[in-house]
Amino acid sequence: MTSITTYTKKMFDPLAPKEEFLDIHDIAHSLSLLCRANGHFPEFYSVGEHCVNCTREAQARGYSVRVQLACLLHDASEAYLSDVTRPVKSALPEYKKIENALADVIYKKWLGSSLTEGEYAIMRDVDDTMLYYEMLHYFGEKISATAPNLCSKPFFSFDGFEKTERDFLDRFESLKKLI
């Protein structure tokens, strides 16, 4: 059996993902409960909060609605696969293939197509910027010699799983209407 049961009670096969079984409510719920940094931050900070912060940063930089939505969905595959830390992920090429295939299905469903190389590079830059400021906020650690430019004010205070889920869904709905 390769399927998982999702929050909305769908049977989803992450190894053979189909658009019709993807549900934004499953993604928002799961990401609101998944802890960033593999649980090592001194307080709870979810992947969902990270994604919302990435979207705020993309908006503050004046990026297109499509890129903003890509930033919101950039970790959506983790709702079905879980999170794997960057150092481990780089040593797991098969996992990376599975993650990329699932992300591609997610982008096609809600963006209408895969990300272009340029869009992907912009999304990665926003993600890396947010990681820098998360590490600085939670650990006081600068992970690179030069601080990346931050245009938004990230929200790093836990407000509850339900609020994170609602923020994610509200942001998704408002961006989706504009695409």
Asked whether residue 179 carries a pLDDT value surpassing 90, the answer given is no
Q: Beta partners for 46?
A: 35
What confidence tens digit (pLDDT) does each residue in 6-42 have?
999 999 999 999 999 999 999 999 999 999 999 999 9
Core vs surface per residue 15-37: b (16+ CB within 10 A) or e: eebeeebbbbebbbbbbbbbebb
- What is the C-alpha separation between 26 and 166, in angstroms, rounded? 12
Asked whether residue 64 carries a pLDDT value surpassing 80, the answer given is yes
164 alpha-carbon distance from chain centroid:
13
What confidence tens digit (pLDDT) does each residue in 157-171 have?
999 999 999 999 999
The reported pTM is: 0.96
4-178, CATH topology level: Hypothetical protein af1432 (1.10.3210)
What is the CB-side half-sphere exposure of residue 100 using CA atoms within 13 A? 10
Segments making up each domain of the chain, as ranges: 4-178
Task: Supply the pLDDT for residue 83.
Answer: 83
